[in-house]
Structures are given as structure tokens and as C-alpha cells.
Amino acid sequence: MPAKKTQTKSTTEKKGTKIVEETKKTKTAGTKTAKKTTSSSKTTTKAKKASPKTETLKNTQAGVETKTEKTAVKKTAAKKTATKKAPVKKAPEKKTATKTKKADKIAQYEQFSLDTCIDMARAMGIEMGYDQYASMLLEEADEKKIAKSILDTYQLNAKSYSFDEDGYDVDLIPVLVSKVAGTVDIKASDFALMQKEIQDHAQYEILADGLANNDEYSAAFDLVKRLLMIAQHKGLTTMEQLAGIVKEDATTMIGKFMDVAYVVLKNWQYDDVKYYENFLYALLSQFEDLYQIYETRAMMDIADLYIEHGDYGLGDANYGYILRENEIKDMIYYRYANAYRDIDREKSRAICNEALQYVDDRYTYYPQIIELLEN
């Protein structure tokens, strides 16, 4: 029994070994096959996997190309847009290039009338009329300072207005001030020159040449008129105050002016006498000291000139007023009688006889009155 068991085991082991061996072989073969299959599968998988990558790469490249094309299109569009907008940006540069030069502006302003310039200044907010500009010229000799003062007062500067857009700018103001200065009778810049004029007229000697006297009267009248304007503007009431401005006392010169007027106006028109009368009384009324010196003489001069021009009624009325208002009558009677000497001899003598009621040899003009009476 033991022997059989041994054989059986042995047989079994052998059979089993073969089976195992065969099984191993099968397994090994299967494994190899499996490995090969796996390898093949891997290759297939790799091949399959490679295909999407390739496609993806191609798609990516295509996408890049598409994006590049789009970017190129955008850049091209941007360039086109920039090219279209360029002229708009350059427009201001063209304006700057064509901006009117200051010299050309000034030349155009100078061609405008004074009234137009004043209106243009008003358009810029400067509410001033001719008289206000003239008044400033009487206060300040420097026209540039006047122009600056105006601009400062109305808060204007170079940026306030544009000549090319508005038709005017602040460069108008100096031209306007200069235009006014060229039309006024008197301005502060003339004061320095008036001293010499006063001296020259004070030294004038009345000539037999009527034309020379006429010219002197016109020139002296113009000077005295300017002096009166200065006094009226500045509120001066004495010749001393006036001398502080023009650097010369004009009292003597005004006396010489009256001398020349008395000679000249005898040969001029009656209306010229009326004009002179109004002007002379305005002058004497302005200056207190001048009135005291020349009042009586002025009234007699005017009365004589009226008689000379045939207005005896007004001349007589003036003398009647003068005689009532003055205690010293000898000179007045003499002037009154002398005014009729070559016009009406009888009336001249009648005035002399009336004078003798008040005048005797104690008076300065008594001898002259007697001479008129006897001759």
C-alpha cells in the first residue's frame, strides 16, 4: 500500500508538473502575447493620441494665423483711422499759422474811424465815451500808461478777445487812445510846450500889418482857450495854480491877448465880437485874481467894440453899468467919450461934459477928457 501511494504521488507530480509547466508556458505565452498586444495597443494609442495633437497644433496654427490676420486687419484699420483723423488734428495748426500779425492788426485799426474804434472797445466791455478818453489824456502824458490803466480797470488781457475770431482784441486800445489824442485841443503831454508859447505871446508887439495881428490873435486865442480848458478840468481858480502846471504865469500874456483882440476885432464881424465877449467873461469867471485885474477893462473893451460895429444901444448900456459900479470914473468917462470920437463928435463932447460933474483936475484922466471936449 505504501508503494502504490508513492507512485501515485509521483505520477501525479509529474502530471502536475507538466500541467504546471504547460500552464506556465501558456501563461508565459499569454504574457508575451499580452505584452505584444499591449505594446501594439500602446502604439495604436500613441498613434491615436498623436493625431489629436497634430490636429490641435494645426488648429492652433490656424488660429494664430487667423488672429494674426485679424490683428493685421485691426492695425490696418487703426492706421486708416489715424490717417483720417490726422487732418482734424492739424486744423488748429493751420489757424496758428494764419494768425494775423500785430503790425497788420495795428494797420487795420488805424484805418477805422474814431467812432468805430470806440464802438469796438464797447463791444469788449469798455463803457467809455470820447470825453472820458479826453479827460484821461489831460491827467496823464504817457499814452501807454493810459491804455494799460483802461485794460486793468476792465480786467482785459491778450486772451480776452481774438482779432481773427472776434474782429478786435486788446491791441485796439493803444490805437484808440492815440486817435483821441490826435483830436483833443489839449492833453497832458502838451503842458511842457505851453511855457514857451506863453512867453512868446506875452512879448508880441502890435504891428501896422493887419494880417500879422490877425494871425497873432488866432494863435493867442487858441492858447488861452487851452489854458481855460486845463483850469476847468482840474478845477483851478487862480493863475498861480495854473502856473504850477504849465510852469509859467500867464497873467501878462492874457493882457497882451486882450490888446491884440481890441485892435483886430474892430475890423472883424459883429458876431466875432459877441464870441469874444462870451469867451473873455468865461475866462475871467474861472480865475478870481484875473477877474480882479481885468474885469473893468474887459467890459470897456467890449462896449467900445459894440459901438465900433454900430450897436450903440448895447455899447451905451455897458458903459452905463460900468459907471454905476465904479467909484473911479475918470478913466471910464474918457474911454466912453473916446469910443465916439470918430463916430459922433457931438455925443463924444456930451459924454465929456457929463464927466466933468464927477471929474476934476485931481483925477488922472482929467487932461484927456478936456482935450476931447475942446477938440
Query: In terms of Cα–Cα distance, which of 302, 330, 326, 328 is closest to 316?
Result: 302
> In this structure, are 160 and 261 located in the same domain?
no
What is the pLDDT at residue 275? 97
Asked if residues 224 and 286 have their Cβ atoms less than 8 Å apart, the reply is no
> In this structure, are 161 and 277 located in the same domain?
no
| Residue 215 is assigned to a structural domain of this protein | yes
> In this structure, are 240 and 152 located in the same domain?
no
> In this structure, are 250 and 208 located in the same domain?
yes
Query: In terms of Cα–Cα distance, which of 227, 247, 201 is closest to 287?
Result: 227
> In this structure, are 230 and 321 located in the same domain?
yes
CA distance 283 to 224: 8
Q: What is the pTM of this model?
A: 0.65
CA distance 180 to 173: 11
What is the pLDDT at residue 90? 53
Asked if residues 74 and 132 have their Cβ atoms less than 8 Å apart, the reply is no
What is the pLDDT at residue 132? 95
Q: Is 65 helix (H, G, I), strand (E, B) or coil?
A: helix
> In this structure, are 215 and 252 located in the same domain?
yes
Query: In terms of Cα–Cα distance, which of 375, 363, 298 is closest to 337?
Result: 375
> In this structure, are 177 and 240 located in the same domain?
no
What is the pLDDT at residue 12? 38
> In this structure, are 178 and 195 located in the same domain?
no
Query: Which of 128, 162, 182 is at the close of a domain?
Result: 182
> In this structure, are 212 and 156 located in the same domain?
no
Query: Which of 182, 207, 239 is at the close of a domain?
Result: 182
Please count the structural domains in the chain.
2
CA distance 349 to 326: 21
The segments of the chain whose pLDDT lies below 70 read 1-97
**Among positive and negative, which fits the CA dihedral 272, 275, 277, 279?**
negative
What is the pLDDT at residue 88? 52
CA distance 327 to 322: 10
> In this structure, are 158 and 244 located in the same domain?
no
DSSP state, residue 101:
P
What is the pLDDT at residue 65? 46
> In this structure, are 321 and 216 located in the same domain?
yes
Q: Determine the structural domain holding residue 221 and report its residue range.
A: 190-326
